[in-house]
């Protein structure tokens, strides 16, 4: 057990904190406490309903999980590995919530699980969490890191939030993974009519980087080096790269403003700005007026005639500089279904094919690492033909299982979380880059930035899931324009509506009125906050990436994290009247009960005798402030921050 007292010094809080805890039964004799500064959610969640897992498949899940356990047991016997012990129920509950829901469990959730006498309580808890909005939130964070989601990629004129809402909807409906990827790769139109175009718009103007990113995310393979020269560590050539890039090079992400057939009245931005100035010379045609016009110009299409050519300095003997390139996959061949399709659709069908050896392997390897902390093949985003899995048999089983499940990745996660292997006590053994990790247990890992943030909110805020981002569902009705015929008055009206409902300032007004603490700290799940956040935000300080690069997040520690945990608003907030943990303490009647409330709420376990003794001593020494001191001490421990 990690000692929770191993922190730099013992923190003292003002005595005013927890002053009501000393005598919670005398509330009627006390003055009515001031209204809490901590906002409370309504309990209603403005999000698509989550399709539940099928309870009738529990036996099939157990059988598949048992097969995985047999394969891991074989791996252990062959390598003389002794696995760790199975988790006790309390720590299993904590891990399940952190892994699947992205947060620690509430006190009532722990109590419900630990008092259950159902022999299948673990499997049923996994099922309930996989069927929850918590799961959607947690997996959205997973994909936002991979897909480099930003609210305004490229520039402020591009609006990506409809794409982000579509991702949440796809997760909630449990859309098959292969279908989901194909929809992203082939989507056409504007983002408010077909939100999946957000995937292609993310790399607008970066044609060659787009194919490199796509292959890395969905095939776990890096071909970027071959953009400039033959790959030094793989067999990809520069010709291979350009042939692969030719599939998407013809795709355009902006309407051709200079095309007279499309815009017979001339380039719309220039025309509308000039007409507006003639009507009202004082009107500001920059800012939101131009932004709405530019937002309408972003669209994904595949016009014919645009072909990729080899670079002007191409130096290999299998082609000539500026030679047009014919699209061809980097390995394998196009499936029969691709015949007659446009190049982008051909690439999507090839990439997501069951016969593509890396498509299925990549996602099962990523999901395994998501669960265990280490992939069966490492690194997960640099697969080679000769990449060896720690257990080829296990990797093959997972691939075939996902195909059998018709690419239901949530169901595969369900199988993984039901294994004895995943339910073992985490291993603190250091990874040796020279030796394979043989999975004696999941690796001991620090929570992600999102897990820490969402866990602290769980301790402080009631119904935080109610605080969702303002929806973009009515965006099309409000700002969609026919730019060939639009008049300045139409653009002005759309600009005013956009500014009032959809701009960052408008969203800030909504959140400031509804879910901010002291008027500045927005209280919402990490998945419901802007992307990227400013560098000084709690989430960024704890390693959330800026989403410029694939998987840019980090769990490394730094001094700023220590100072934030000691002095930040979010840790102060939970010690105020009206926080979840504060109210739970008021309900407990004895010092003993209150100490148990604190330990179960923060660490998910009951206190040991030594824990109780130390906590009681601090409470006797500091009086009512001692409860706050114990809470503050616990949230600054490794035991809180790490997933055991």
Give me the pLDDT at residue 87, please.
98
Question: C-alpha angle with apex 132: 128 to 134, nearest 5 degrees?
Answer: 120
For 410-466, write each residue's pLDDT tens digit. 999 999 999 999 999 999 999 988 899 999 999 999 999 999 999 999 999 999 999
Angle between helices 133-147 and 161-172 (to 10 degrees): 130
Contact, 499 vs 506, CB < 8 A? yes
In terms of Cα–Cα distance, which of 35, 150, 56 is closest to 550?
A: 150
Residue 36 pLDDT? 80
**pLDDT score of 25 more than 70:** no
Q: What is the pLDDT of residues 476-532, one digit of tens each?
A: 999 999 999 999 999 999 999 999 999 988 988 888 888 999 888 999 999 999 999
**Do the beta carbons of residue 236 and residue 330 sit within 8 Å?**
yes
Q: How confident is the model at residue 105 (pLDDT cuts 50, 70, 90)?
A: very high
Residue pLDDT, tens place only, 401-411:
999 999 999 99
> Across all residues in the chain, what is the average pLDDT?
92
Alpha helices in 328-418 (DSSP H): 343-351, 357-372, 392-404, 409-417
pLDDT-above-90 percentage for the chain = 85
CA atoms within 13 A on the CB side of 506: 14
Q: What angle do CA 415, 417, 418 make, to 5 degrees?
A: 65
Query: At residue 568, does pLDDT exceed 90?
Result: no
Q: CA-to-CA distance for 242 and 495, rounded, in angstroms?
A: 41
Kindly state the DSSP code that residue 299 receives in the 8-state scheme: E
pLDDT recorded at residue 8? 35
Q: Which pLDDT belongs to residue 16?
A: 36
pLDDT range class, residue 14, cuts 50, 70, 90: very low
Mean predicted confidence (pLDDT) in 344-368: 97
Query: pLDDT tens digit string along 286-337?
Result: 999 999 999 999 999 999 888 999 999 999 999 999 999 999 999 999 999 9
The string of pLDDT tens digits covering residues 543-559 is: 999 999 999 999 999 99
Backbone angles phi, psi at 27, to 5 degrees: -60, -35
Whether pLDDT at 85 is above 90: yes
Cα→Cα distances 347→185, 189, 216, 252, 303, Å? 8, 18, 14, 16, 16
DSSP code for 83: P
CA of 143: how far to CAs of 147, 171, 391, in Å? 6, 10, 26
pLDDT(155) > 90: no
Residue 386 has a pLDDT of 87
What the block records as the tokens of 348 is: 């999507």
pLDDT band at 391 (very low <50, low <70, confident <90, very high): very high
Reduced to 3 states (helix: H, G, I; strand: E, B; else coil), residue 128 is helix
Predicted confidence at residue 17, as pLDDT, reads 43
pLDDT surpassing 90 at residue 583: yes
Dist CA 604 CA 207 (whole Å): 48
Looking at residues 532-550, what average pLDDT do you find?
Answer: 96
Q: What pLDDT is stored for residue 21 in this prediction?
A: 54
The reported pLDDT for the residue numbered 34 is: 56
The answer to whether residue 24 scores a pLDDT higher than 60 is no
């Amino acid at each position: 057990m990690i000692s929770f007292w191993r922190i730099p010094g013992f923190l003292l809080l003002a005595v005013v904190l927890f002053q009501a805890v000393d005598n919670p039964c005398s509330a009627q004799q006390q003055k009515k406490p001031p209204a809490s500064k901590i906002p409370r959610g309504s309990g209603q969640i403005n999000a698509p309903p989550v399709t539940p897992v099928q309870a009738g498949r529990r036996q099939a899940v157990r059988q598949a999980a048992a097969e995985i356990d047999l394969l891991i047991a074989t791996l252990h016997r062959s390598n003389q590995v002794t696995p760790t012990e199975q988790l006790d129920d309390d720590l299993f509950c904590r891990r399940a919530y952190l892994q699947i829901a992205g947060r620690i469990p509430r006190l009532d959730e722990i109590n419900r699980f630990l008092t259950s006498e159902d022999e299948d309580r673990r499997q049923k808890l996994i099922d309930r969490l996989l069927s929850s909005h918590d799961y959607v939130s947690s997996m959205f964070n997973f994909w936002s890191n991979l897909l480099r989601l930003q609210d305004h990629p490229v520039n402020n004129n591009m609006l990506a939030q409809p794409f982000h809402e579509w991702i949440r909807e796809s997760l909630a409906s449990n859309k098959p993974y292969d279908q989901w990827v194909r929809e992203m790769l082939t989507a056409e139109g504007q983002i408010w009519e077909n939100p999946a175009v957000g995937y292609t718009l993310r790399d607008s103007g970066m044609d060659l980087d787009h194919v490199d990113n796509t292959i890395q995310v969905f095939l776990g393979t890096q071909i970027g080096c071959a953009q400039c020269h033959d790959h030094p560590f793989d067999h990809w050539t520069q010709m291979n790269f350009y042939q692969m890039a030719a599939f998407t090079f013809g795709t355009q992400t902006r309407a051709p403003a200079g095309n007279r057939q499309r815009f017979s009245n001339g380039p719309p931005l220039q025309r509308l700005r000039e007409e507006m100035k003639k009507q009202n010379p004082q009107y500001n045609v920059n800012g939101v007026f131009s932004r709405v016009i530019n937002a309408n110009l972003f669209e994904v299409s595949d016009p014919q005639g645009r072909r990729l050519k080899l670079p002007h300095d191409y130096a290999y003997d299998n082609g000539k500089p500026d030679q047009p390139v014919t699209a061809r996959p980097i390995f394998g061949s196009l499936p029969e279904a691709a015949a007659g399709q446009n190049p982008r659709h051909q690439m999507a069908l090839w990439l997501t094919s069951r016969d593509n050896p890396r498509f299925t392997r990549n996602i099962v390897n990523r999901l395994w690492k998501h669960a265990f902390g280490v992939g069966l093949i490492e690194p997960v985003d640099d697969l080679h033909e000769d990449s060896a899995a720690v257990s080829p048999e296990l990797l093959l089983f997972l691939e075939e299982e996902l195909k059998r499940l018709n690419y239901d990745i949530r169901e595969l996660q369900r199988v993984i979380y039901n294994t004895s292997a995943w339910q073992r006590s985490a291993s603190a053994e250091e990874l040796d880059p020279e030796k394979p990790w043989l999975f004696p247990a999941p690796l001991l890992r620090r929570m992600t930035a999102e897990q820490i943030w969402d866990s602290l909110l769980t301790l402080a805020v009631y119904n935080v899931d109610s605080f969702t981002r303002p929806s973009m569902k009515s965006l099309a009705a409000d700002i969609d324009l026919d730019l060939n015929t639009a008049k300045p008055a139409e653009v002005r009206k759309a600009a005013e509506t956009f500014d009032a409902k959809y701009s960052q300032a408008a969203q800030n007004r909504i959140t400031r009125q509804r879910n901010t603490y002291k008027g500045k700290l927005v209280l919402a799940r990490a998945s419901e906050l802007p992307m990227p956040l400013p560098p000084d935000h709690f989430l960024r300080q704890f390693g959330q990436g800026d989403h410029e690069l694939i998987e840019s997040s980090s769990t490394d520690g730094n001094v700023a994290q220590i100072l934030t945990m000691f002095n930040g608003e979010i840790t102060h907030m939970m010690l105020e009247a009206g926080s979840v943990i504060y109210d739970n303490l008021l309900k407990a009647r004895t010092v003993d009960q209150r100490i148990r409330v604190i330990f179960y709420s923060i660490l998910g376990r009951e206190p040991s005798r030594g824990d109780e003794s130390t906590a009681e001593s601090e409470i006797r020494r500091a009086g009512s402030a001692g409860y706050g001191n114990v809470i503050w001490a616990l949230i600054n421990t490794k035991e809180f921050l790490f997933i055991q």
